[in-house]
Structure 1
Amino acid sequence: MPDVLIDDQGRPEPPVAAGETATLLGFLDYQRATLEWKTRGLDAAGLDARVGASTMTLGGLLKHLAWVEDFWFSVRLHGNPPHETWQGVDWQADPDWDWTSATNDSPEGLRSLWTRAVERSRALAEGALEDGGLDRLAAKPWPDGTAPSLRWIVVHMVEEYARHNGHADLLRESVDGETGE
């Protein structure tokens, strides 16, 4: 197996000539590392900074993506109950709880929450790969009975991170002027 190349920001470069699984997971890890880079070294004020009229924050992104990781890889793919972090959340009362509650969390707590969610997701994805590969269907289908494959979930997660990393670029630039990709 070839060595993983790490870029100047500490992100693992996706493989340029690998199989489908390694390529998809490589792009997902690259996007995850981009979020880590965009939130690296910021204090509570930096993680709570806003741009214009938006209520989005980098801390909110960390908490939201921790929820998204758990939702897709644990709840949807494996049919597990939500992680203890999300149990007791009244999503009906505040559908944006992951975003709005982040301002009450410490930078260390937010980073740890997200990092642990990513670690769980990697392990759950590995288990699913061993049990059907990318074609493995989610244990919890959508209301219409359709179950997405692990392939769909990974591609969706790449899209989710890529979209939010664009937001992270703007938010980070507003905090300290740091820009890049």
Structure 2
Amino acid sequence: MTTPEALAIHEARTRLHELTNIDVRTPGEFAGGHVPGALNIPLDRIAQALPDIRHAADRGDVLVVCASGARSGNACRILAENGVTTATLSGGTGAWAADGHELHRPQGAPRAAWGMERQVRLTAGAVVLLGILLGVLVHPAFQLVSAGIAAGLVFSALTNTCGMAALLAKLPHNRPRGVDLEESLAALRSR
């Protein structure tokens, strides 16, 4: 498996006007702040958007962005397997903001949406804690819940995927009204 090309923040910033910028985070994360000009196509919708992304890539370079680089790297690999060459933003939107660059937000969007990694940490920690407490207070078999989460986290680290993130991405707060996949796909077609 090849590692996708990573564009440094300064290089992406100087080339932003010529890149097709695709943000693969959930609509909720996207609404919380994204690199200027980004189109939101969540990672779990990349296959559906493939023809339109290929169309955009035929006309110029495509930059794929997420919070830290993990999901955009996965998206780049999926696209590469389908013949689409892309690059990822080194460090994602976190590094973009840390470097002092503005994140754009849709009109009326919340300013403090939690990132997916933070949501996963909260959920995994809460379920592990619940498993331990129920194992002590109710029945030792409940500790298997904690073991299952631990096994899932190990699998997640080894495969650079996250089933819990995929599930959390489907929750209503991660799919707010106002971010429309069809709108992003139409923008890709017009490039």
Shared fold by TM > 0.5?
Answer: no
TM-score normalised by structure 1 residue count: 0.30
Larger radius of gyration: 2
TM-score normalised by structure 2 residue count: 0.29
